[in-house]
């Protein structure tokens, strides 16, 4: 305990206290297992919140990143670089989007999407009073633009005023959206599956209705796929289950599988009618290191048929969690899709998560009453069985 406790005390002295951290210092990982400083091993059902899709200690990924480090880490967006070009090609191939802008994080991808929406509308009518419709219980990040469209008042309150002209509707309630649409509306933004807000998938009928409203009024449909994208639902992007396509989308988290990258993408039509040279930029976004990571991630996704694997193991996880939910009266709901699922309890789940950690299982909450299951996508059925055993022993 000694060394680990020392580091935790140091962290609490030196780092700004913006997280209530679990009392563990992870040191390294292997596959779907994490090891703390004492060498204790844990089965990981969090993957750094949906980042480490391909597991830890992934040799080929590590080699791809290392060889790029040896070659060149950074140039500038004033020059072209091959990894970024290849990464954009890979994203276009699986998403069907046409134009990519690389960022360093999810929040920055959302910022870019918001600027895209305002510019698109501005070019149409020259006005600067356009409105964006976002959803209650959404989460889009911590920067001011992203925070402004995050539908959880407690995250916003102390930091008012937000950017203006944001309205909030209710996910899966199309009337609540229609009630807010007017001639000023330039975008409707939501997560295809709400993550932080409690694992709420957008329903097919809702998504299709939003698509229709956007088509009829030349409003941009913008989907945040930062958590639910990159194979997590069994498709590369969660909206691909519904035969529609957004006008703008965001990606991050598993896009780099550990190297901090994000992106926002758009159709050619939006690309031709929004941001131009001078409108937007970034120093690090789209650098060769991030690009190399993204290229290797997509290479492995294809080679290992990750989306098929997620469909299969996700279904298995669903059945197993259904059994758990049925066996416990304090579990109010079980929902989710693929390897993004949640169990909602009628009480806070922190105690359960701490017990699980003690027993070598890493879980995370989404809100206070929901346990979120967001493991590496390479998890096997035997790992699900092991997780269920430990979970049951904690309930």
Ligand X SMILES: *Cc1c(COP(=O)(O)O)cnc(C)c1O
- Which residues sit at the interface with ligand X, rule CB under 6 A? 105-107, 110, 139-141, 191, 195-196, 224, 226-227, 252-253
In whole angstroms, what is the distance from residue 376 CA to residue 361 CA? 13
Q: By C-beta, is 252 or 353 nearer to ligand X?
A: 252
Radius of gyration of the chain (CA): 21
Phi and psi, residue 74, nearest 5°: -155, 140
**Cβ-count burial 144-166 (b if 16+ within 10 Å, e if not):** ebbbbbbbeeebbeeeeeeeebb
Q: By C-beta, is 252 or 349 nearer to ligand X?
A: 252
Q: By C-beta, is 134 or 362 nearer to ligand X?
A: 134
> Least separation, in Å, of the C-beta of 282 and ligand X?
13
In whole angstroms, what is the distance from residue 15 CA to residue 348 CA? 26
In whole angstroms, what is the distance from residue 160 CA to residue 292 CA? 39
Structure-token pair, residue 63: 């080699």
DSSP conformation class of 346? S
Q: By C-beta, is 110 or 293 nearer to ligand X?
A: 110
> Least separation, in Å, of the C-beta of 5 and ligand X?
28
Phi and psi, residue 43, nearest 5°: -85, 130
Which residue's C-beta sits nearest to ligand X? 106
331-337/340-345 β-pairing: antiparallel
Q: By C-beta, is 37 or 370 nearer to ligand X?
A: 370
Q: By C-beta, is 210 or 390 nearer to ligand X?
A: 210
> Least separation, in Å, of the C-beta of 238 and ligand X?
11
> Least separation, in Å, of the C-beta of 105 and ligand X?
4
Residue for token pair 């297992």: 33
CB 300 within 8 A of CB 266: no
> Least separation, in Å, of the C-beta of 336 and ligand X?
14
Q: By C-beta, is 252 or 384 nearer to ligand X?
A: 252
Which residues sit opposite 56 in a β-bridge?
A: 31
> Least separation, in Å, of the C-beta of 183 and ligand X?
28
> Least separation, in Å, of the C-beta of 6 and ligand X?
28
**CA 218 centroid distance within chain:** 27
In whole angstroms, what is the distance from residue 1 CA to residue 37 CA? 9
> Least separation, in Å, of the C-beta of 150 and ligand X?
8
> Least separation, in Å, of the C-beta of 27 and ligand X?
23
CB 223 within 8 A of CB 196: no
For 338, residues 6+ apart whose C-beta sits below 8 A from its C-beta are: 231, 232, 233, 234, 310, 311, 314
Q: By C-beta, is 191 or 247 nearer to ligand X?
A: 191
Q: By C-beta, is 224 or 235 nearer to ligand X?
A: 224
Degrees, nearest 5: CA angle 380-386-389: 145
Cis check for the bond before 386: say yes or no (omega within 30 of 0).
no
In the chain, what's the furthest Cα-to-Cα distance?
64
């Amino acid at each position: 305990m000694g060394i680990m406790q020392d580091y935790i005390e140091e962290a609490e002295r030196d780092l700004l206290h913006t997280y209530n951290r679990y009392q563990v210092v992870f040191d390294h990982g292997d596959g779907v297992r994490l090891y703390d400083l004492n060498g204790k091993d844990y089965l990981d059902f969090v993957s750094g919140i949906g980042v480490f899709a391909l597991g830890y200690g992934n040799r080929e990924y590590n080699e791809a990143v290392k060889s790029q480090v040896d070659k060149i880490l950074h140039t500038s967006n004033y020059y072209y670089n091959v990894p970024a070009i290849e990464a954009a090609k890979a994203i276009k191939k699986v998403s069907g989007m046409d134009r990519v802008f690389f960022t360093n994080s999810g929040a920055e991808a959302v910022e870019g999407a918001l600027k895209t929406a305002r510019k698109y509308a501005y070019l149409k009518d020259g006005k600067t009073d356009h409105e964006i419709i976002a959803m209650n219980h959404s989460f889009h990040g911590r920067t001011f633009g992203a925070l402004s469209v995050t539908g959880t008042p407690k995250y916003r309150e102390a930091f008012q005023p937000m950017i203006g002209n944001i309205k909030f509707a209710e996910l899966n309630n199309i009337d609540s959206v229609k009630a807010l649409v007017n001639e000023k509306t330039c975008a409707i933004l939501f997560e295809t599956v709400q993550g932080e807000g409690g694992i709420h998938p957008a329903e097919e009928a809702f998504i299709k209705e939003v698509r229709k409203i956007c088509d009829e009024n030349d409003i941009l449909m913008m989907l945040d796929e930062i958590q639910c994208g990159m194979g997590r639902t069994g498709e590369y992007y969660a909206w691909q289950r519904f035969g529609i396509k957004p006008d703008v989308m965001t990606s991050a988290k598993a896009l780099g599988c550990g190297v901090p990258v994000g992106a926002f993408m758009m159709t050619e039509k939006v690309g031709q009618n929004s941001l131009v040279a001078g409108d937007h930029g970034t120093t690090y976004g789209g650098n060769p290191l991030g690009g190399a990571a993204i290229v290797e991630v997509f290479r492995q996704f294809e080679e290992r048929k990750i989306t098929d694997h997620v469909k299969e193991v996700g279904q298995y996880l669903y059945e197993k969690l259904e059994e758990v939910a049925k066996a416990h009266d304090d579990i109010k709901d079980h929902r989710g899709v693929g390897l993004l699922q949640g169990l909602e309890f009628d009480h806070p789940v922190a105690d359960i998560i701490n017990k699980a950690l003690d027993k070598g299982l890493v879980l995370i909450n989404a809100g206070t009453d929901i346990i979120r299951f967001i493991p590496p996508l390479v998890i096997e059925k035997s790992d699900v069985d092991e997780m269920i055993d430990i979970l049951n022993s904690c309930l």
